[in-house]
Each structure stands twice: as structure tokens, then as C-alpha cells.
């Protein structure tokens, strides 16, 4: 005797009829019902080939609702989520990257520029003092000579 066990417990679905889950079984019956209804409505008006295509197209949405899963959502949950995100609450999202490394370097660069400015100002002040001291020294020697 062999028993099949899913590796992921969340993937377990209880089979009701012909190995289908209850959801799949209900939507399969609905798809067949819609196809039969469309067949009897259009067989006399359009012919057999066109009626068969209409039956297929009419049954597809019900089959999709029963069997399709996308990102863990059933088809009807996905349709509701899509309508909300695209029609009811659309938002334009802008991606604005933040480069922390560049911000740190920019701040460091500004700090270094300020230090260089201070050093340059100190050098200029030192040169001015030396020029002023030379002028004062000349003035003092001129006063002494008078």
C-alpha cells in the first residue's frame, strides 16, 4: 500500500469527486452547464462549427476560475486584486534610489573643503601679518631716522 504525502502541507487539497477539489468540481460543472446552454441557444442559428467555438469560449472563464492559481491566489482572488490595483486604486510609484555611500562621501568632501578653506584663510592671515609687520618695521625705522 502506498500513500502519497505532499512535501509542503499547504499544497494539500482534499479530493471530492474524480480527484478534483470541491472548488474545481463546482466550476467544472458550471463550465459544462454553460457550454450545454450555449449549444442549445446557438445550434440552429449559427451552425455546428461556430456554436462549438462559442461553447468553448463560454466555458473558459469557469474553467479558469476553478483551476488557475497565481501567486497562491485563485483566479477570482487574482481578478479582484488586479481590479483594485489597476482600476480602483492606481498609484504611480517612483523609484528613488538612495546611495548612502555617495551621501557619506559628499558630507566628507564638504568637511574637507571647509578644512582647506580654514587652512587657506590661516595662511593668508599669516602672510598679511608678515607684510604688515614689515610695513610696521619700515615705519619704525623711518621714525627712528627722523
pLDDT digits (tens, 9 = 90+) for 98-143: 888 888 888 888 888 888 888 888 877 766 555 555 555 555 555 5
CA angle 8–14–17, rounded 5-degree value: 145
Rg (CA), the chain: 42
Share of residues in the chain with pLDDT > 90 (%):
19
Which residue is associated with the grid cell 599669516? 126
Residue 64 has pLDDT above 60, yes or no: yes
- For residue 20, what are the contacts with CB-CB under 8 A and spacing of at least 6? 28
Q: 69-70 and 73-74: which strand pairing?
A: antiparallel
Q: What is the DSSP string of 25-65?
A: HHHHHHHHHHHHHHHHHHHHHH-HHHHHHHHHHHHHHHHHH
Predicted TM-score (pTM) of the model is: 0.50
d(CA 130, CA 133): 5
Amino acid at each position: 500500500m502506498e500513500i502519497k504525502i505532499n512535501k509542503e502541507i499547504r499544497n494539500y487539497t482534499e479530493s471530492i469527486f474524480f480527484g478534483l477539489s470541491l472548488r474545481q468540481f463546482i466550476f467544472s460543472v458550471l463550465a459544462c452547464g454553460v457550454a450545454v446552454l450555449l449549444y442549445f441557444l446557438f445550434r440552429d442559428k449559427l451552425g455546428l462549427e461556430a456554436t462549438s467555438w462559442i461553447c468553448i469560449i463560454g466555458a473558459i472563464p469557469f474553467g479558469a476560475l476553478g483551476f488557475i492559481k497565481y501567486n497562491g491566489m485563485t483566479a477570482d482572488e487574482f481578478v479582484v486584486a488586479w481590479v483594485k490595483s489597476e482600476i480602483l486604486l492606481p498609484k504611480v510609484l517612483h523609484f528613488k534610489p538612495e546611495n548612502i555611500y555617495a551621501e557619506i562621501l559628499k558630507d566628507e568632501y564638504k568637511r574637507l573643503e571647509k578644512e582647506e578653506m580654514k587652512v587657506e584663510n590661516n595662511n593668508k592671515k599669516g602672510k598679511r601679518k608678515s607684510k604688515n609687520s614689515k610695513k610696521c618695521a619700515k615705519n619704525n625705522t623711518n621714525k627712528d631716522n627722523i
